[in-house]
Amino acid sequence: MPEISVKDQVKRLVDLQTIDGQIHQIRTDLTEKPALIEGLKKEFETSKAHFNALTNKLKAIQLKRKELELDLKNNEDQIAKFNAQLFLIKTNKEYQAKLTEIASIQADKSIFEEKILISYDEADLVQADINKEKIVVAAQENRYLTQKKIIEDDIVLLEDRSKVLASQRKQFLVGIDEACLARYERILAHKDGLAIVPIKNNSCMGCHMNVPPQTINAIKTHDQLIICEICQRILYVEDDL
């Protein structure tokens, strides 16, 4: 089998780079997709947590009101008991003392009643917030589930596409010198999936730095693979292939 020239090696590497560029992008997308799902999930969970906090706040208000209503009931029972005792008191002094005691308890009753009324107002405000947040949570959940399904479908398509490209890649390896391929793949692994780049307007399209004329001339001789001095990627001149 005749030896393949450096020029043909470069052509094949350029074709291989087209496949590898797509594979690299797919791998990048597959890495980012789960993070997108996680971000949507956190948004939904944050909204849900706020809704749960409001629900718990309402329950706390209602529980406190029940305690106040129980205190009010005990207070009213005590007033009724003391009022009944008034008929059994024989001295004016004891009678006045009992009235004073009843007045104090009745003052407490007013406090309990005021607090109960306030708790109803608080509960109404929190319930209004719950009703609003319920709509927000439902919308967030719908968005999360919808987008999650879309992203998961995209992942399946990307994985399928990756398998197809991996199969196609094997065909592009045919005829590439092992040493050239090894060098190309080492660069590919460390340069974000971009191992071989063209020169345009005397600039490397990998790092966009200026390429000296002598380097461009060396590329055109096709004696060996030429590497960018700055980014270490393989260089080629498009019009020369």
Q: pLDDT above 70 covers what percent of the chain?
A: 99
Task: Please state the three-class secondary structure of 66-116 as a single string.
Answer: HHHHHHHHHHHHHHHHHHHHHHHCCCHHHHHHHHHHHHHHHHHHHHHHHHH
Q: Is 184 exposed, middle or buried (0-12, 13-18, 19+ CB in 10 A)?
A: buried
Residue range 68-72: average pLDDT? 96
In a domain, 225, yes or no: no
* pLDDT greater than 50 at residue 1: no
Nearest of 170, 240, 175, 173 to residue 2 by alpha carbon: 175
In a domain, 175, yes or no: no
Residue range 192-215: average pLDDT? 96
pLDDT for 146-193, tens place per residue?
999 999 999 999 999 999 999 999 999 998 999 999 999 999 999 999
Q: Tell me how far apart the alpha carbons of residues 234 and 227 are, in angstroms, rounded to a whole number.
A: 4
Amino acid in position 4: I
Which token pair is 76?
């009213």
CATH number for the domain including 116?
A: 1.10.287.1490
Nearest of 148, 158, 184, 218 to residue 12 by alpha carbon: 184
pLDDT for 92-137, tens place per residue?
999 999 999 999 999 999 999 999 999 999 999 999 999 999 999 9
In a domain, 154, yes or no: yes
Task: For residue 149, give its domain range.
Answer: 29-170
Residue range 72-86: average pLDDT? 94
In a domain, 118, yes or no: yes
* pLDDT greater than 90 at residue 202: yes
Residue range 48-66: average pLDDT? 97
Q: Tell me how far apart the alpha carbons of residues 132 and 47 are, in angstroms, rounded to a whole number.
A: 11
Our count of domains for the chain comes to 1
What are the beta bridge partners of residue 204?
199
pLDDT value of residue 42:
95
In a domain, 180, yes or no: no
- Looking at every residue in the chain, the average pLDDT score rounds to 95
pLDDT value of residue 2:
54
In a domain, 143, yes or no: yes
In a domain, 63, yes or no: yes
In a domain, 93, yes or no: yes
Residue range 11-25: average pLDDT? 97
